[in-house]
Amino acid sequence: MAAAVNPTSLESAPRIMRLVAECSRSRARAGELRLPHGPVATPVFMPVGTQATMKGITAEQLDALGCRICLGNTYHLGLRPGPELIQKAHGLHGFMNWPHNLLTDSGGFQMVSLVSLSEVTEEGVRFRSPYDGDETLLSPEKSVEIQNALGSDIIMQLDDVVSSTVTGPRVEEAMYRSIRWLDRCIAAHQRPDKQNLFAIIQGGLDADLRATCLEEMTKRDVPGFAIGGLSGGESKGQFWRMVALSTSRLPKDKPRYLMGVGYATDLVVCVALGCDMFDCVFPTRTARFGSALVPTGNLQLKKKQYEKDFRPIDSNCTCPTCQKDFLPRGSGIVTRRPLILQLIFSKTEYAEFLHCKSKKFTDFDEVRQEIEAETDRVTGTNKGISPVPINLRVYSPHVLNLTLIDLPGITKVPVGDQPPDIEYQIKDMILQFISRESSLILAVTPANMDLANSDALKLAKEVDPQGLRTIGVITKLDLMDEGTDARDILENKLLPLRRGYIGVVNRSQKDIEGKKDIRAALAAERKFFLSHPAYRHMADRMGTPHLQKTLNQQLTNHIRESLPALRSKLQSQLLSLEKEVEEYKNFRPDDPTRKTKALLQMVQQFGVDFEKRIEGSGDQVDTLELSGGARINRIFHERFPFELVKMEFDEKDLRREISYAIKNIHGVRTGLFTPDLAFEAIVKKQVVKLKEPCLKCVDLVIQELINTVRQCTSKLNSYPRLREETERIVTTYIREREGRTKDQILLLIDIEQSYINTNHEDFIGFANAQQRSTQLNKKRAIPNQVIRRGWLTINNISLMKGGSKEYWFVLTAESLSWYKDEEEKEKKYMLPLDNLKIRDVEKGFMSNKHVFAIFNTEQRNVYKDLRQIELACDSQEDVDSWKASFLRAGVYPEKDQAENEDGVQENTFSMDPQLERQVETIRNLVDSYVAIINKSIRDLMPKTIMHLMINNTKAFIHHELLAYLYSSADQSSLMEESADQAQRRDDMLRMYHALKEALNIIGDISTSTVSTPVPPPVDDTWLQSTTSHSPTPQRRPLSSVHPPGRPPAVRGPTPGPPLIPVPVGPTASFAAPPIPSRPGPQSMFANNDPFSAPPQIPSRPARIPPSIPPGVPRRPPPSAPARPFF
């Protein structure tokens, strides 16, 4: 049963789900996941990349397919390549080169898929690796730790997974354990602000258990919920019932993720049941085995009947797989697709399509034909629809720089191959484009239509409630009935907009078919406004030319508004390049002395960098790890003392050697006095042992010096030969100094060995040595003296009590204590050091920690029921440092005890009291004198190494390195530049000068352009009301008119880089026919309020005509729908 505790929750769990629409006849809903790597429209199917890749599909192809989230497997990624390697690649996103969102499962599914290799306990699940058979524990904490390291946007709790066909107590056990594991996952989650943790609902096919799980888990305030434990062999009816039960009780404002579902039927049904997210390996795995999923079922492409069949798999599908063929598509009925039209001012006039880049169109009849042919290629010939746009650039001296997007009109009744929900698909596509804050909306309405019923104005109001981006365009002014006009609308008096209305007169279909010249059409439009009594007073503010100027001015306004942020961004990039470009500022490729100057500069800079790294005065201080002089200092004062201390614990060997020395000196005689020759013999032998740690210290310093040289020569990458030669010369010199330094150190030790100075002021003498014989085994550390403080992780605390956890440790001469934090107020435990030893422990499964253990030599529990405590550090250096601190406290490694076990006891017991007294006396004398020598060596070693090696190396680099370089190789070959570095330098200089030029251009724009103010707000409440009270201008629409024409609408530049409007496709200026319209992809959601109620979308469009206020004559609706251009 679940423990009766207060439910754990993530503090202020983010609301990542925004509902956009709900079906009135089912639980289906559309929404948007707001994730760190961009929004994701739901419902969404997530392709599965078990080991951070989908076999046969690149990240670029996934991106092109519109995938915005995919899934990885924590268990397999933890095994290979491992979280450490992935972290070095800046997380899973960098490892995959994937710019969008990622979801990682917890590894729980492997309890089923690897059931023969796993064992589940309350602690976690133990797996035997399928690669090498090693056993590892995957606990809830470890699963979250790995997912935190991977950096995925959505992470899953570890749950206890059983097959959906299992019944009985095991299902109940798994359900309650999943609840407990959820609490542990929440507690272990380290990045709740960057990664969203989902809970997983379990309970098998038992409705009561699943209801209980739903009740308990929804008490935890997590960002989302997954429905698990299904789609594993049960019947469809059972499966769908459990899904329906789950979605009915899950929070409405949080995403619902149905795990492991990929069959088309299940996706459709479960979307209707209210699920938002799905994943499965089925589609990609099916493709890898030579099959394709088509509307008629599973197409086995390996069959012989398809061997010579070159037809596309699906002629109506636009993906590369289905359309990878060279068969003609034919032409005929023009279908509907959005047209992205980039207009670019140019001296010559031509057009280019994105899908045929190499061809330039100079005849715009061919442009029209290519538009028709391209739409047929994608949508077929029976009025099909598709959201895939046509991209067209038009270069002309008669256009202004703009990017326009021609969108389809709103259709109510489907025809031909159009789907039943054609109206909603087109609306979604329109919203996708006009929702962008950088777009300007042209809401096009024909003059012979009731303006209050304009679908274009309604959609514009949804995404632009303040009216800052909406311009009204009134067409078909020349087709209004006699006696009616649109003057009040164009003067912005009737149903006003903030940016007002602009009237245009387009060519008729007869004019287009008759190839009426564009200039003649513009002249006719101008004549219409000047001659019409209702419009002549505002003719200068009407017509297509004025519309173009207005749009261009708005583009200028947008650029000026974007300038401060753009200038700041460019300045930031320029500053980041300043230091790197500094060395290239005076670069002159034609200077004959260039190589000599570069050589002198680089050698000088190398010497400065080397000295700064050693002396610690570098201008770029590394905050991530120790380097250079800091590491050498650590060798001097931590590692070298540690090596010396290790020599001090051969206590039994030392006593045995002293007893042998005394007996051999006495010979056959029985000695009455303690012989001083035994003292000298033992001391000299102990002094000789100092050679090994001293020489090891020299080796460690040499290695650090060589590493420092390599780090400093990294700046010479531009000249690989120079770098190689510099490293060789300096390294050779260091090796020469190594021999001299080691000779000097050995000389120091020989000097110590040559004369035993018993008159040293710190030497205790024979009398004091006899008095201290009873204190031989006591610690020399001062009682209660704090030896070290720091953070350590206890690695093997029971997972039921929180798993591995970090504490603040305090080591004294008598005890080891740990606290909750560094304030040392809440003590967790104090462990006496008596009878404690240290042993090494191998790193755990997928662990990046280095571990050692403390245990009791008398086989007693060290802490509660633990025989040993495993302590973990971040690096091996930290482990060595802590071991040295424990040695100072008298806690020695296990191996030394084992080495001293053999052959000691018999000699100890064989000593008579007289001999034992003499042994203890000499032992105290040796201890005192060796301590004097150690003190001297510890003081002289750093000084000797600094003088003979480090300082000499610095002097060599400053004074002699240049001469060695000149004599070692020809200067021209030495300064031969790397091709890659030369390219990098040229790119960097080019970028540097481009940034400076961009900043100058921004300055020119700021001074040479004028920004028009934003128009004041108007009373547009009429747009917020329903169409039941719609005032009507004094005009009548014609009952038999063609579908209203429209100019293309404008999309402004996207924020960020400098705006470069690009031309595309013919407009009215190019005698192009009306562009066929098509629906778009999933909406980008017009509603800007993430917490507003979603609109209710009826299953069928309402057909009740709007009521008309009194006094307004009724008119029949137009025969064709109005089509907004955006």
CA distance 815 to 638: 21
101, β-bridge pairs: 69
Average pLDDT over residues 840-869: 82
More confident residue, 146 or 760: 146
Give residue 22's pLDDT.
Answer: 92
CA distance 604 to 608: 6
Per the CB < 8 A criterion, the answer to whether 413 and 362 are in contact is no
Tokens of residue 673, six digits: 């006095």
Give residue 605's pLDDT.
Answer: 84
Instruction: Tell me if residue 1014 falls in helix, strand or coil.
Output: coil
Residue 468's φ and ψ, nearest 5 degrees, are -75, -20
Per the CB < 8 A criterion, the answer to whether 35 and 69 are in contact is yes
Give residue 291's pLDDT.
Answer: 81
Give residue 1046's pLDDT.
Answer: 41
Give the residue numbers of the binding site.
Answer: 105-109, 159, 202, 229, 317, 319, 322, 355
Give residue 913's pLDDT.
Answer: 65
Give residue 1047's pLDDT.
Answer: 42
Whether 105 is a known active-site residue: answer yes
Strands of 390-396's sheet in order across: 356-361, 350-353, 390-396, 339-345, 402-406, 1049-1051
Give residue 890's pLDDT.
Answer: 80
- With cut-offs at 50, 70 and 90, classify the pLDDT of residue 273: very high
More confident residue, 176 or 842: 176
Rounded to the nearest 10°, the torsion over CA 793, 794, 796, 801 is: -100
Give residue 176's pLDDT.
Answer: 94
Rounded to the nearest 10°, the torsion over CA 780, 781, 782, 784 is: -140
pLDDT digits (tens, 9 = 90+) for 363-381: 877 887 888 788 777 776 6
Going by the DSSP 8-state scheme, the letter that residue 126 receives in this structure is E
Residues 6 or more apart from 444 whose CB is under 8 A from it?
Answer: 456, 473, 475, 1044, 1046, 1047, 1049, 1122, 1123, 1124, 1125
- Shortest CA distance to 443 belongs to which of 464, 477, 471? 471
Mean pLDDT of the chain: 76
Instruction: Tell me if residue 1013 falls in helix, strand or coil.
Output: coil
CA distance 147 to 770: 63
The amino acid that residue 880 corresponds to is: D
Per the CB < 8 A criterion, the answer to whether 245 and 274 are in contact is no
Q: What is the CA radius of gyration of the chain?
A: 41
- Whether the pLDDT of residue 34 is over 70: the answer is yes
User: Residue 789 belongs to what H/E stretch?
Assistant: strand 786-794
Question: Which burial class, exposed, middle or buried, applies to 397 when counting CB atoms under 10 A from its CB (0-12, 13-18, 19+)?
Answer: exposed
- Whether the pLDDT of residue 209 is over 90: the answer is yes
Per the CB < 8 A criterion, the answer to whether 613 and 712 are in contact is yes
Distances (CA, A) of 842 to 507, 796, 839, 871, 1073: 82, 13, 10, 12, 75
105, 153, 266, 376: the active-site residue: 105
Give residue 256's pLDDT.
Answer: 96
Residue with tokens 């935190």: 148
- With cut-offs at 50, 70 and 90, classify the pLDDT of residue 845: low
Tokens of residue 975, six digits: 């300064």
Average pLDDT over residues 196-223: 94
Tokens of residue 1030, six digits: 């719609």
Per the CB < 8 A criterion, the answer to whether 442 and 499 are in contact is no
The separation between CA 388 and the C-alpha centre of its own chain, rounded to angstroms, equals 29
- Whether the pLDDT of residue 223 is over 90: the answer is yes
Strands of 441-446's sheet in order across: 441-446, 470-475, 501-503
Give the residue numbers of the binding site for Zn(2+).
Answer: 317, 319, 322, 355
- Shortest CA distance to 1072 belongs to which of 387, 363, 380? 363
CA distance 1 to 180: 10
Give residue 670's pLDDT.
Answer: 62
CA distance 205 to 171: 9
The separation between CA 1037 and the C-alpha centre of its own chain, rounded to angstroms, equals 57
Give the residue numbers of the binding site for substrate.
Answer: 105-109, 159, 202, 229
pLDDT digits (tens, 9 = 90+) for 411-446: 777 776 677 777 788 888 888 888 887 788 888 999
40, β-bridge pairs: 33
Going by the DSSP 8-state scheme, the letter that residue 628 receives in this structure is T
- Whether the pLDDT of residue 503 is over 70: the answer is yes
- Whether the pLDDT of residue 166 is over 80: the answer is yes
More confident residue, 1124 or 550: 550
- Whether the pLDDT of residue 521 is over 50: the answer is yes
- With cut-offs at 50, 70 and 90, classify the pLDDT of residue 999: confident
Give residue 1069's pLDDT.
Answer: 34
More confident residue, 718 or 521: 521
CA distance 581 to 587: 10
Average pLDDT over residues 477-503: 89
Residue with tokens 């304009």: 454
pLDDT digits (tens, 9 = 90+) for 1054-1079: 333 333 333 333 333 333 333 333 33
Give residue 490's pLDDT.
Answer: 92
- Whether the pLDDT of residue 779 is over 50: the answer is no
CA distance 505 to 508: 9
Ramachandran region, residue 1072 (left: φ > 0; alpha: ψ -120 to 50; beta: rest): beta
Give residue 803's pLDDT.
Answer: 59
Task: Give percent of the chain above pLDDT 70.
Answer: 74
Tokens of residue 839, six digits: 């042993």
Give residue 130's pLDDT.
Answer: 62
Ramachandran region, residue 903 (left: φ > 0; alpha: ψ -120 to 50; beta: rest): left
Going by the DSSP 8-state scheme, the letter that residue 116 receives in this structure is G
Whether 63 is a known active-site residue: answer no
pLDDT digits (tens, 9 = 90+) for 312-332: 776 555 554 554 332 223 333
Peptide bond into 328 cis (omega under 30): no
- With cut-offs at 50, 70 and 90, classify the pLDDT of residue 904: very low
More confident residue, 39 or 619: 39
- Shortest CA distance to 649 belongs to which of 874, 431, 889? 889
DSSP string, 335-374: -B--EEEEEEE-SS-EEEETTEEEEEE--HHHHHHHHHHH
- With cut-offs at 50, 70 and 90, classify the pLDDT of residue 620: low
Give residue 202's pLDDT.
Answer: 93
pLDDT digits (tens, 9 = 90+) for 675-726: 667 777 777 888 888 888 899 999 999 999 999 998 888 878 778 888 888 8
Residue 106's φ and ψ, nearest 5 degrees, are -90, -10
Average pLDDT over residues 474-501: 89
- CB 312: neighbour CB atoms within 10 A? 15
DSSP string, 364-412: HHHHHHHHHHHHHHHH-SSS-B--PPEEEEEEETT--SEEEEE-PPP-S
Rounded to the nearest 10°, the torsion over CA 455, 456, 457, 461 is: 100
- Whether the pLDDT of residue 1015 is over 70: the answer is yes
Per the CB < 8 A criterion, the answer to whether 463 and 427 are in contact is no
- With cut-offs at 50, 70 and 90, classify the pLDDT of residue 361: confident
pLDDT digits (tens, 9 = 90+) for 918-970: 677 777 777 788 888 888 888 999 999 999 999 999 999 988 888 888 877 66
Residues 6 or more apart from 68 whose CB is under 8 A from it?
Answer: 38, 39, 40, 41, 44, 100, 101
- Shortest CA distance to 371 belongs to which of 349, 350, 355, 383? 355
For the ranges 198-212, 259-273, 275-289, 815-829, the maximum mean pLDDT occurs at 198-212
Give residue 436's pLDDT.
Answer: 82
- Shortest CA distance to 682 belongs to which of 937, 938, 922? 922
User: Residue 530 belongs to what H/E stretch?
Assistant: helix 518-531
Give residue 649's pLDDT.
Answer: 52
Give residue 168's pLDDT.
Answer: 86
**Lowest-confidence pick of 186-195, 215-224, 245-254, 750-759:** 750-759
Residue 815's φ and ψ, nearest 5 degrees, are -155, 165
**Lowest-confidence pick of 457-461, 654-658, 893-897:** 893-897
Give residue 637's pLDDT.
Answer: 84
Distances (CA, A) of 744 to 750, 941, 945, 948: 10, 10, 9, 9
Residue 246's φ and ψ, nearest 5 degrees, are -65, -50
Give residue 12's pLDDT.
Answer: 60
Give residue 60's pLDDT.
Answer: 81
Average pLDDT over residues 569-575: 82
- Whether the pLDDT of residue 602 is over 70: the answer is yes
486-490's contacts with Cβ under 8 Å and 24+ in sequence apart are 486/447, 486/534, 486/1033, 486/1035, 487/534, 487/535, 488/1033, 488/1034, 489/447, 489/451, 489/1033, 490/535, 490/538, 490/542
- CB 1043: neighbour CB atoms within 10 A? 15
Residue 290's φ and ψ, nearest 5 degrees, are 85, 30
160, 266, 279, 464: the active-site residue: 279
- With cut-offs at 50, 70 and 90, classify the pLDDT of residue 187: very high
Residue 500's φ and ψ, nearest 5 degrees, are 75, -170
Per the CB < 8 A criterion, the answer to whether 152 and 104 are in contact is yes
CA distance 323 to 200: 39
Polymer length in residues for the chain: 1126
- Shortest CA distance to 78 belongs to which of 119, 159, 118, 137? 137
CA distance 801 to 570: 52
